[in-house]
Amino acid sequence: MYCRFEDRLAGQALELVGFCRRIEARTPQELAGALAAVEAAWRAGHWVALMLDFELGEWLLPEVLDGAAGGPCGNTGEPGRSAIGRAAQRCSETGAGLQAHGCGCAGEAADAARAHAPAEPVPAAATDGDGKAAPARQRPRLRALVFDGAVKGQPWPTPADAGSRILDLKPRTAHDEYLKQVEVIRAGIGRGEFYQVNYTQPMDLRVQGDPRELYARIAAANPIAHAAYIEDGTQTILSFSPELFVARQGATLTARPMKGTAPRDADPQRDEALGRELHASAKNRAENLMIVDLLRNDLGRLAEPGSVKVDELFTLERYPSVWTMTSTIRAQAPHATLGDILTALFPCGSVTGAPKIAAMRHIRRAENAPRGLYCGSIGWLAPDGDFSLNVAIRTLVLDADGNGIYGAGGGIVHDSDAESEWQECLWKARILAS
């Protein structure tokens, strides 16, 4: 097991050391115990690496599957007080649950989780989001690796080229089908079914050479704040995400949704013009503001009254391959547990669309495979309760044979152009050629 997190904008790295154990949730019935075990681990002085599949949201927001009334609050109106959240919090408060499947409140947790079980399984023939067939509901949607400690250091240096590279990158969705689905979404917006849907596709590929070298080379060429390299015993994960999902420092929660992207250009004047066009774009500002409002509402479920603030709106950020537009939202939530926070916020609204439930329902119908870790979250939890979780975009997942998957997509609104959205998928994959 190996876990490394890098903030290359700050020149900092965090390597977790002294692997202890693994925690997983493979079914809704296991989720409460797994969340309690994660909470208990950091309270006991451990560091935790957390990996959350996008489809974990179907357990936290069961309305996506069964159309039941009420939201992540379980119809109580209280922030983060779903049945799963209550069971997980009780376990963590009593210190139970250090083993993923040995939670002292397992009976209540299982009963709560059964109420959140999907009404219909993912078809057994579907891929598992990392390119391989998997039986319905058996892929872990929450994975946590528990470590004794962490060592702070510098990001890996740029390696000498020893031959690691990406081969045979191929979108899994045909061009015409992608355009068709964009038009289906636009029609749904016209009917008032949703305002925005984040539509994505997987890209299959092979990796030749050492994944660590590949990660170090791509990360050095594309410095961002929320990178991660993880070998978890079953997969190797290379995440080059520039987007923060949520971080906690003391009582403060910070979210930085990224919505609005444009390609960079080799010509300096043209490049600056592309950045200005993005920042001034009414379409992209509308997309960004829609997600800001969604996240403000999500944070309001668990924040102290009046504490949710938009600190920055439409900040233009420059990365080697893209321009992006990011906003910053902060809130005070001193009593929120990890389970509360995930129940209120996950998945990040920037990778679902709005309204979240309606957008996720359409994503499940329209996309040709589960997303898996892509558009989920990867991050670390510290023994003092602080944590940082990214949005797992720009993320490459490899199996032991070097076969991999990389996802790309974007937010579709009523005035989106289908061909432009297809091209956006392609240039979001440019990072892999670094």
Q: Are 195 and 177 in contact (CB under 8 A)?
A: no
Residue 259 falls in the annotated catalytic set: yes
Q: Which of 259, 287, 424, 428 is catalytic?
A: 259
Q: Are 390 and 245 in contact (CB under 8 A)?
A: yes
For 75-92, b/e burial (b = at least 16 CB within 10 A) is eeeebbbbbbbbbbbbbb
Which residues have CB under 8 Å from 371's CB, separation 6+? Answer: 53, 54, 55, 129, 200, 202, 407
- CA–CA separation, 221 and 219 (whole Å): 5
Pairing of β 244-249 and β 47-52: unpaired
List for the chain the helix, strand, coil content (%; round to 5). Answer: 35, 30, 35
Q: Are 287 and 196 in contact (CB under 8 A)?
A: yes
Q: Which of 39, 108, 243, 421 is catalytic?
A: 243
**Using the 8-state DSSP alphabet, how is residue 347 labeled?**
S
Residues, the chain, total? 434
Query: What tokens does 158 get?
Result: 């740029």
Q: Could you give the 3-state DSSP secondary structure of residue 407?
A: strand
Query: What tokens does 16 get?
Result: 């977790």
Rounded to the nearest 10 degrees, what angle do helices 338-345 and 31-43 cross at?
Answer: 130
Q: How wide is the angle at C-alpha 226 spanned by C-alphas 131 and 423, nearest 5°?
A: 55
Q: Are 32 and 112 in contact (CB under 8 A)?
A: yes
What is the set of active-site residues?
243, 259
